[in-house]
Structure 1
Amino acid sequence: MTAHSEYHTLVSPATTTTRKGKVLMVHGWAQNAFVFRQKTKGLTNKLNKAGYDCVFLEGPHLLPLASTVQIDGVDVQVENGKRENARAWFLLSETDPADASESQSGRPLTYFGLNDALDRVQHQLEQEESFVALMGFSQGGVFAHILSRLADAGHPPFKKIRATILASAFAAQHVDESPSRPFSHIIAKMPDRETILLPSLHIIGKNDTSVRPALSEDLSVLFDNRQFLYHEKGHILPQTSAACQTMVGFLDQVLDS
C-alpha cells in the first residue's frame, strides 16, 4: 500500500496477475479513506487478486465532533460522535456542517462544497490512467451518481470512468442555480429525466435502516444499463465470496464490452 498524497491511497498487491485497471473507492458520510479501506479489506483483496487496484479517495470536508443547536431558544452543544477525521464529500447546511437531516428528504438541496470534491476527483483522474469504475457507499454513492452523470456526458477527465457500483446509495437532489464551471450545467439539477447509460451495479441491503432499499431502487431507475446485488444485511458493503464474485464479474463484463 503506497500513500500518494494526504487524501488518497492506492491498494495494489505484489502479484503477477495481469493488472486490469483501477477502481475509485468513495467512502460514506463521516468516514474517511482509512476507515473505508479497513472496512473493505475482504473486497479489496478479492479485487486485487482479480487484477483490479483500489484507489481510496478522502472527502474534502471535515465534520466537527460537536454542533451548536437551538432547543427552545437556547444554544445547546450536541456531540456528533467520537470519530476523529470524519469526512464528507459535500455539506447540506451552511450553519451546521454535521447536519445531514435533509439528505434523504427528496427535496431539492444545495450541496455546499461540492466543487471541492469534484476538484479532488478531477485531479486524481488526470494523474492516473486505466480507471475501470468507481464504487460509492452511502453519501459516496450519492456523489458517485453525480460523477456518473459527468462520465456519461463524456466530459474529460470524468469520461475515464466506464462503470459505477453504488452501495446503500440514493439519488442526488442537487440544485445549483448559478453554475460556474465548464461542466456545471450537466449536474446543475439532479436527478434529471435523462437516464445514465453507464453500466451500473446497485448493491442494496434488504435490512438497511440508514438508507431505505426503496431509495436505492429509485436511484437504479435513473441508470439504463443496471444490475442488482441484494443482500440480507443492513448499511454495509457486503464482502461474502458470492458478493465479491458478483462485483468482479461486473467489472470483467465492463472490460469485455
Structure 2
Amino acid sequence: MLNPIRVSTKPLLHAQRVFATSIKSFTAVMMGDNPAQQSAPAPALNGSDSASASASTTPLPTPSSTPKPGPQNQNRPQRPPKPAPPPKKEVKILMLHGYTQSGPLFRAKTRALEKLMAKALAPLNLVPALIYPTAPNRLSARDIPGFEVKDGEEGDEEGEIDSWAWWRRDEASGEYRFLEEGMERLVETIRDVEGGVDGVVGFSQGGSVAAVLASAMEEGRTVPEGEKWEWVRRVREANGGRALKFAVVYSGFWAVPQEMGWVYEPKVRTPTLHYLGSLDTVVEEGRSRGLVERCEEPVVVVHPGGHYVPVSKEWVMPLVGFVRKAEAPCHTRCARD
C-alpha cells in the first residue's frame, strides 16, 4: 500500500503574498504615492523567502523623481510678429470727358483703363478712385460736328440729346462762352469729394480743361481780378488749398483766347503727361504741341492712333508710372516748391 504524498501549500501562499505586495507597490507609484509611507506593515517572512520578498518590494521611482523632458524649442528665441501691412491710399482723380460726351459715356470708354490702373497700382497699396463729372452745357444736334439737317426737317434745337461741353467757342470772337459754368461744375464736384482730389485726366476739350484747372490751383499763380475769375478762388478752397499732383491730357490743346494768358504765363508747373495720336485728325498736332510747350515738366507719349484714349496695357502703363511717380515723395520738386 502506497503512502500518500503530502504537498506543502506554504510556498504557494508565499508567492501569492509577494505578488500582491508588488501589485500594491506598482499601483501606489502610478497613483503618485510613496510606498515607504504606507502604514500597512509588510508580511513577516523567514529565511530565503524574506530575502526574496525584500528584493521584490523595493520601491519603484516615483513620477515626481523622474525628469520630464521639456519641449525642444522651449529655449529658442521667438520670432517677432509680422509687421502690419501699410494702409491703402486712395488716389482720387477727376476724369473729364471731351466735347459732345458725358461722364457716364467717358467712363464706359475708359473702363479697361480703370481696371488696368487698379491692378497695376495694387502692389503699391494705391487705389485709384476715378470721378466722372458731366459738363453743364448741353449741346443740341446742330452742335455736333458733321451734323446735317435733312430737307424738310428742322432738327433738334431743344438740346434733348445726351451731349455736353465744358464751354462753347464763339466763332466770331474766339472767346470761350459758358467757361465759368463749366469750372463751377468742377468746384461742386471737388467739394463733394472727401479730402479733395489728387489729379486730373482729360480728353480733347476735357484735356484742355485739365490743364486750365491744374494751373489755376497752383499756389502763387496770379489771376486777373473780376467776377469772371471768381471760380479760381472757389476751386482752390474746395480742394483745401492743395495744388494737383499731376495732370494727364489726351489729345488736348491750349486755350487760345488772350484773356486766358494767365493760365500759361508762367508755364504750368504741375507735372503733365500728354498723349498724342499720330493719326488724330480732330485736334491738329500743332495745337497739342502748343499745350506741351506751355508746361514746365511735360512728358509726351505718341501712340499710333487717332482721336481717342488708348486703353491697351501698352499705353496704360506710362500713365501708371506717371501716377506712381507723382504719388511718391519727390524731394526735388518739394524742395523747389
Question: Which TM bucket (shorter chain)?
Answer: 0.7 to 0.9
Shift of 1:126: 2.1
Residue deviations 1:108-135 (CA, integer Å, cap 9, x gap): 7321111111111112222222522100
Q: Which runs of 5+ in 2 are unaligned?
A: 1-86, 122-126, 144-152, 221-232, 331-337
For the residue of structure 1 that corresponds to 2:132, the secondary structure is strand
For the residue of structure 2 that corresponds to 1:152, the secondary structure is coil
Residue deviations 1:80-123 (CA, integer Å, cap 9, x gap): 9x992100001123xxxxxxxx5xxxx97321111111111112
Aligned twin of 1:131: 197
Shift of 1:18: 2.5
Aligned twin of 1:63: 139
Aligned twin of 1:146: 212
Shift of 1:78: 6.2
166, 169, 174: which one aligns with 2:249: 166
Query: Rg bigger for which structure?
Result: 2
Normalising by structure 2, report the TM-score.
Answer: 0.57
Write out aligned runs for 1:2-81 (5 A): 18-49=88-119, 50=121, 51-66=127-142, 77=154
8 Å Cα contact 1:108-1:175 kept in structure 2: no
Shift of 1:169: 0.5
8 Å Cα contact 1:173-1:190 kept in structure 2: no
Aligned twin of 2:169: 92
Aligned twin of 1:210: 282
Q: Percent identity?
A: 23
- RMSD of aligned alpha carbons: 2.7
8 Å Cα contact 1:91-1:111 kept in structure 2: yes
- Is 201-210 or 47-56 further displaced after alignment? 47-56
Residue deviations 1:64-85 (CA, integer Å, cap 9, x gap): 1236xxxxxxxx95679x9921
Aligned twin of 2:40: none
Shift of 1:19: 3.5
Shift of 1:30: 0.1
Q: Could you say if the C-alpha distance between residues 52 and 130 of structure 1 is closer, same or farther in structure 2, counting changes exceeding 3 Å? A: farther
8 Å Cα contact 1:173-1:191 kept in structure 2: no
Cα distance in 2, alignment partners of residues 127 and 161 from structure 1: 16
Cα distance in 2, alignment partners of residues 57 and 143 from structure 1: 13
The answer to whether the aligner puts 1:113 opposite 2:185 as a matched pair is no
Cα distance in 1, alignment partners of residues 265 and 184 from structure 2: 26
More strand by share: 1
Write out aligned runs for 1:234-249 (5 A): 234-249=306-321
Amino acid at match of 1:89: W
Normalising by structure 1, report the TM-score.
Answer: 0.74
Cα distance in 2, alignment partners of residues 208 and 148 from structure 1: 24
Aligned twin of 2:68: none
8 Å Cα contact 2:218-2:243 kept in structure 1: no
Aligned twin of 1:7: none
- Is 151-160 or 110-119 further displaced after alignment? 151-160
Moved over 4 A (4+): 76-80
Structure showing greater relative contact order (alpha-carbon pairs closer than 8 Å, 6 or more residues apart): 1
Shift of 1:160: 4.2
Cα distance in 1, alignment partners of residues 327 and 294 from structure 2: 22
8 Å Cα contact 2:102-2:164 kept in structure 1: yes
Q: Could you say if the C-alpha distance between residues 247 and 108 of structure 1 is closer, same or farther in structure 2, counting changes exceeding 3 Å? A: farther
Amino acid at match of 1:193: E
8 Å Cα contact 1:30-1:86 kept in structure 2: yes
More helix by share: 2
Q: Could you say if the C-alpha distance between residues 160 and 227 of structure 1 is closer, same or farther in structure 2, counting changes exceeding 3 Å? A: same
Q: Could you say if the C-alpha distance between residues 60 and 242 of structure 1 is closer, same or farther in structure 2, counting changes exceeding 3 Å? A: same
